[in-house]
Chains A and B, each alone.
Chain A
Amino acid sequence: MRPHITGLGVVTPFGIGVDPYWSALLESANAIGPITRFDGGRYATGIAGEHPGFDPRDHLPARLLPQTDRVTQFALVATRDALDDAAIPDGAYAEHASAVVTANNGGGFEFAQKEMQALWSRGPAHVSAYQSFAWFYAVNTGQISIRHNLRGAARALVTDDTGGMEAVGQARRQLRHDCELVLAGAVDTNLCPWGWSAYTSAGLMATDPDPRTAYRPFSPHADGFVSGEGGAIMTVERPDRTGSRAAYAAIAGFASTFDGVARDGRGLERAIRVALDDAEVDAGDVDVVFADGFGTREMDDREARAITAVFGSGGVPVTVPKTGIGRLGCAGSALDVATACLAIAKQVVPPTPRYELSEAASALHVVDHPAAGRVHTALVLARGRGGFNSAMVLTKPHTELDSD
């Protein structure tokens, strides 16, 4: 059974919604800039892909505001848009056959910081009762479930930056068992001093202060990534339940591997091969690879070698559309899945900005302009710190129903 992705909701540094996001990708626009939400000058990295001008009052009932972090507000907006986009008829699914799976890297960082500040500066009576859940990494799943009455088995995954893709993979598992609709994906933001301290301390972020050049995956000068905020939530449904409604893509294959202590760096290649086998497609059938693009030399070289090992030198178009927004924590991999859905729906590969490639990456065919053409099969790659690797194969949905 190859579940269909039928609705997309995205919040990105380019704005809210699929249309501004896709247009910006085609222009290779860059939304990375100096942090405005707090003083980034005190940290090793002071630039980020911020979502501009978000006013939650424009999107959510006032009641939800005192109890939600920015990350949950983004997630609720993305969920609303995904459901609107899918246009699922009222009552199509029983509430217990409808589930939510999201990933999170840090939960409501800013909410937690505010409450800790209240605790230490004003005392325990000033800590909000909403702190009990608003900081927690399962909070997006919970709030989405409550708001939209999706009462099937709810899950929250924490696998660093592969989380958003893992959530979509988990949706497929649940659709094979007791669910008919899953809201899946991830939204992340670390843009407050507390979240930023956690990220910058790992020493993996770019030190180049120039927003135009700081995050360049596969460049010989790559010295780290830039962080962004936002993500994607999508409706994933059993293909026999979508009726005449259109789908962006089918989830044809999915695999996760873990490099563990051995750290031979071959886990990503294994994930690619298992995902292709799972999808029953040959490497030659893949029309585009959405690379993880970690942004450090070691991680980029490893990814370039994995892609080259499977596809051969220059054997497949490769793109890293996140270059203009940074890595959105665990949500970047959900957004990459959404981007691949758009590429398949529009039959266009969104480009990576043009810049010099490292020696290992010179074997990659990096797409540096919007490439219209056949996009029937897309491979999306994701990695997380600590050895997580995930790979997902998305295909153009067939009009006939899958029987398996």
Chain B
Amino acid sequence: MNIDTLTAVLREVAGEDETFDLATHVDPDTSFDDIGFDSIALLEVLNVLKREHGVQLDDDVLEHAKTPAALLDVIEEERDAA
């Protein structure tokens, strides 16, 4: 998975928010907090990752993965471990 795919997931969950331009670019090191993803929104991100991309992550990864880049790292680790 790359940042573009994750951005598409974020966009789906956010409902194409106008507060930042998800359509073109999201800074992988911006915190989820800064782009308006609260805990429930991130749970929905995990939901979509599992449902549409077959990526199964436990909810507790959210305690450490605070940015899109960090979440991508976790997804990579998970895939390598599988």
Q: Measured between alpha carbons, how far is A66 from B17 in the docked complex, in Å?
A: 11
With beta carbons under 8 angstroms apart, the residue of A62, A63, A66, A129 that contacts B43 is: A129
Question: Which residues 32-82 of A have a CB within 8 angstroms of B?
Answer: 61-67
Given contacts A63-B36, A133-B40, contact A126 B51 (CB under 8 A): yes
Establish whether residues B15 and A129, one from each chain, have CB atoms under 8 Å apart when the complex forms.
no
Determine the interface band of chain B, counting residues with CB < 8 A from chain A: 10 to 19
**List of A residues within 8 angstroms of B41 by Cβ:** 67, 129
Interface of A, secondary structure class, is: helix
Distance (whole angstroms) from the CB of B42 to the closest CB of chain A: 8
- Give the residue among B13, B36, B46, B50 with the most A Cβ atoms within 10 A: B13
Query: Could you tell me if B44 and A61 are in contact, using CB atoms closer than 8 angstroms?
Result: no
Q: Please measure, in the bound complex, the distance between the C-alpha atom of A127 and the C-alpha atom of B44, giving whole angstroms.
A: 9
Minimum distance in angstroms from B32 CB to a CB of chain A: 13
Interface bracket on A: 10 to 19
Supposing A63-B36, A125-B50, A125-B51 touch, asked if A130 and B15 sit within 8 A by C-beta, the answer is no
- The interface centre, meaning the residue of A63, A66, A132 with most chain B CB atoms within 10 A of its CB, is A63
CB–CB B18/A67 < 8 A: no
Which of B14, B47, B50, B51 meets A63, CB within 8 Å? Answer: B14
Cβ-defined contact, B40 with A61, below 8 A = no
Q: How far is the CB of B17 from chain A (nearest CB, A)?
A: 4
Q: Are A66 and B13 in contact (CB under 8 A)?
A: yes
Inside 8 A of B13's CB, which chain A residues have their CB?
66
Residues of chain B having any CB pair with chain A under 8 Å = 13-19, 36, 40-41, 43-44, 46-47, 50-51
Interface, chain A (partner B; CB < 8 A): 61-67, 125-130, 132-133
5 pairs of A and B residues whose beta carbons are closest in the complex: A129-B44, A129-B43, A63-B17, A62-B15, A125-B51
